[in-house]
């Protein structure tokens, strides 16, 4: 037997229903916030991710599904959605429309060659949004509020963590002071952290190693080193969150695992799903468009990890819907095929059982497919031009002329 690859899962039955419910609910909310749907290819040039997500990130450094295609191109299955959307934004020359705002949402599979465990897959699904051209901190607040709305609509409890990662003005001097501090404790840090002192020292702050965290207790804090503009934005963001009654915590160690961020960063976490508790993450990336060759354009976005919230989603009761058609004799099959087709053309759901059988068996069949109406054509009805119907919700049954069904 051939099984799915390690870390890759089928979405079938209840999972498939949940996946659609999550994406439809989130898409509806994103549309209400003025976002429009975008779909970008799963395969992109490898250098897109190297330049945007960054070579020092785990995602690019260790986890890419990268290969050479038959044409000799170095390609990669997208590990996340932002890079492709920014590429599409540039390719459509939207960066040249200065002053315009563009807001997109997307969902679909992402690929990271990680060690699979609960909540961590190699193929997983995200719902994400990206907003271009709006630098106001009100936009940062609005994205966090949208995320809260989505989780509220899905019945999911969460905690919100926020941080500011600073900008080109305040980050370089902060980085220097952090490196100086890290050099002092270098020998005691874990191997990953030691490597990061050179490649991306700020990522040392979110090391999961407990000993490293103890050592970092008195490391300089970026939130204390923000420039006036970043500090003002960050405190305004907190004011807006407070007045919207979105409970949040400032987490100075929240640095996010992708290199493109600056300014506002945030994560939503759940305490109900174990170690992989981040259910969504995002932030500003005001330099990314420029970095990929476009005109300077501020950007901000987030992505939800759909598999991580799947079990938490409060699904509405699935309602009985549409028709089940059954025949009690072979001659009745032709007419029910046509009746079912007429229902479908009228926009209703209709399922046909092709094997003639007794009434009891048909009622069972209708129940199994979740139909509201069970319509059965027997010998007497066939002769009289009628059909027997039962409403499985109201528990009413009657025989009606076929043309009045
Ligand atoms: P990220 O934090 O790498 O951000 O991923 C977002 C979410 O995807 C995570 O919070 C988590 O729920 C889920 N996720 C990540 N890796 C896995 C995995 N291996 N298995 C299952 N779920 C996973 C981004 O991807 C950014 N592109 C978000 C963003 C959009 N920032 C700005 N715009």
Nearest atom, ligand 1, residue 267 CA: 10
Q: Are residues 283 and 367 in the same domain?
A: no
- pLDDT < 50 stretches in the chain: none
- Supply the pLDDT for residue 237: 98
- 325 in Cβ contact with 398 (< 8 Å): no
Which of 263, 287, 312 terminates a domain? The answer is: 312
- Asked whether the beta carbons of 253 and 214 are under 8 A apart, the reply is no
Residue 397 lies inside a defined structural domain of this protein: yes
Contact 46, 60 (CB under 8 A): no
User: For ligand 1, is residue 308 a contact (CB within 6 Å)?
Assistant: yes
Q: Are residues 23 and 112 in the same domain?
A: yes
pLDDT number for residue 393: 96
Q: Are residues 379 and 257 in the same domain?
A: no
**Domain boundary residue, one of 281, 312, 343:** 312
Are residues 240 and 327 both part of a single domain?
no
**230 and 358 housed in the same domain:** no
Q: Is 126 in the pocket of ligand 1 (CB under 6 A)?
A: yes
Structural domain for 65, as ranges = 14-170+226-312
Q: 79: Cβ below 6 Å to ligand 1?
A: no
Q: Give the CATH number, domain containing residue 101.
A: 3.30.930.10
Q: Tell me: do 253 and 105 sit in the same domain.
A: yes
What pLDDT, on the 0 to 100 scale, is given for residue 174?
95
Q: Are 137 and 237 in contact (CB under 8 A)?
A: yes
Are 251 and 357 contained in the same domain?
Answer: no
Does residue 181 lie within any of the structural domains?
no
Residues 333, 381 within the same domain: yes
Q: Tell me, using a 6 A CB cutoff, whether residue 348 lines ligand 1.
A: no
From 19, 303, 313, mutation site for ligand 1 pocket: most ligand atoms within 8 A of C-beta: 303
Q: Is residue 189 part of a domain?
A: no
User: Is residue 237 domain-resident?
Assistant: yes
Do 45 and 134 belong to one domain?
yes
CB 266 within 8 A of CB 302: yes
Q: Is residue 201, in this structure, part of any structural domain at all? A: no
Mean pLDDT of the chain: 96
Give me the phi and psi of 197, to 5 degrees please.
-55, -40
- Ligand 1 centroid – CA 125 distance (Å): 9
Tell me whether residue 229 is exposed, middle or buried, using C-beta atoms within 10 angstroms of its C-beta: 0 to 12, 13 to 18, 19 or more. Answer: middle
Say what the pLDDT of residue 94 is: 98
**335/249 same-domain check:** no
Query: Is 208 part of a structural domain of the chain?
Result: no
* Model pLDDT for residues 36-67, shown as the tens digit of each residue: 999 999 999 999 999 999 988 899 999 999 99
Closest ligand 1 atom to residue 79 Cα is 25
Is the distance from the beta carbon of residue 303 to the nearest atom of ligand 1 less than 6 Å? yes
Q: Is the CB of 124 under 6 A from ligand 1?
A: yes
Last residue of one domain, picked from the residues 293, 312, 331? 312
Question: Is 76 near ligand 1, meaning CB less than 6 Å away?
Answer: no
Ligand 1 atom at minimal distance to the Cα of residue 119 = 21
**Beta carbons of 135 and 286 less than 8 angstroms apart:** yes
**What whole-number distance in Å separates Cα of residue 128 and Cα of residue 81?**
7
Residue 187 maps to a domain? no
If asked whether residues 142 and 233 sit together in one domain, one would say yes
CATH number assigned to the domain comprising residue 388: 3.40.50.800
SS3 assignment, position 394: coil
Q: Give the pLDDT confidence score for residue 56 in this predicted structure.
A: 86
Residues 98 and 141 in one domain: yes
State in Å: Cα 189 to ligand 1 middle: 26
Domain count, the chain: 2
pLDDT at 206: 86
Residue 161 counted as domain residue: yes
Question: What region does 357 belong to: left with phi over 0, alpha with psi -120 to 50, or beta?
Answer: beta
Q: How far is CA 237 from CA 142, 163, 223, 284, 364, in A?
A: 10, 10, 13, 13, 57
Which pLDDT score is estimated for 98? 85
């Amino acid at each position: 037997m051939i099984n799915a690859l390690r870390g890759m899962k089928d979405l079938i039955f209840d999972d498939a229903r949940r996946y659609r419910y999550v994406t439809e609910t989130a898409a509806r909310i994103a549309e209400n916030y003025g976002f429009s749907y975008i779909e970008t290819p799963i395969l992109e040039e490898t250098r897109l991710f190297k330049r945007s997500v960054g070579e020092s990130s785990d995602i690019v450094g260790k986890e890419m599904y990268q290969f050479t295609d038959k044409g000799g191109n170095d390609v990669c299955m997208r590990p996340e959605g932002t890079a492709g959307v920014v590429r599409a934004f540039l390719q459509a020359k939207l960066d040249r429309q200065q002053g315009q705002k563009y807001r997109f949402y997307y969902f679909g599979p992402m690929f990271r060659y990680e060690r699979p465990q609960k909540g961590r897959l190699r193929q997983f699904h995200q719902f994400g949004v990206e907003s271009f051209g709006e630098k106001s901190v009100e936009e940062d607040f609005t994205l966090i509020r949208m995320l809260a709305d989505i989780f509220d609509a899905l019945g999911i409890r969460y905690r919100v963590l926020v941080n500011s990662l600073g900008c080109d003005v305040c980050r370089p001097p902060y980085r220097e002071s952090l490196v100086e501090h890290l050099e002092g404790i270098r020998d005691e840090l874990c191997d990953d952290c030691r490597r990061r002192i050179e490649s991306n020292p700020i990522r040392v702050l979110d090391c999961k190693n407990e000993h490293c965290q103890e050592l970092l207790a008195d490391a300089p804090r970026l939130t204390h080193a923000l420039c006036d503009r970043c500090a003002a934005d960050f405190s305004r963001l907190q004011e807006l969150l407070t007045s919207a009654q979105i409970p949040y915590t400032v987490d100075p160690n929240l640095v996010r695992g992708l290199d493109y961020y600056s300014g506002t960063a945030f994560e939503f976490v759940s305490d109900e799903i174990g170690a992989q508790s981040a259910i969504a993450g995002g932030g500003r990336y005001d330099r990314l468009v420029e970095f990929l060759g476009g005109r300077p354009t501020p950007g901000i976005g987030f992505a939800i990890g759909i598999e991580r919230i799947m079990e938490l989603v409060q699904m509405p009761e699935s309602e009985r819907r549409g028709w089940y058609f059954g025949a009690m004799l072979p001659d009745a099959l032709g007419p029910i095929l046509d009746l079912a087709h007429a229902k479908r053309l009228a926009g209703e759901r209709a399922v046909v059982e092709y094997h003639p059988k007794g009434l009891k068996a048909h009622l069972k069949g209708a129940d199994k497919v979740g139909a509201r109406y069970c319509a059965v054509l027997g010998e007497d009805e066939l002769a009289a031009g009628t059909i027997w119907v039962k409403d499985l919700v109201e528990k009413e049954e009657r025989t009606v002329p076929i043309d009045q069904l």
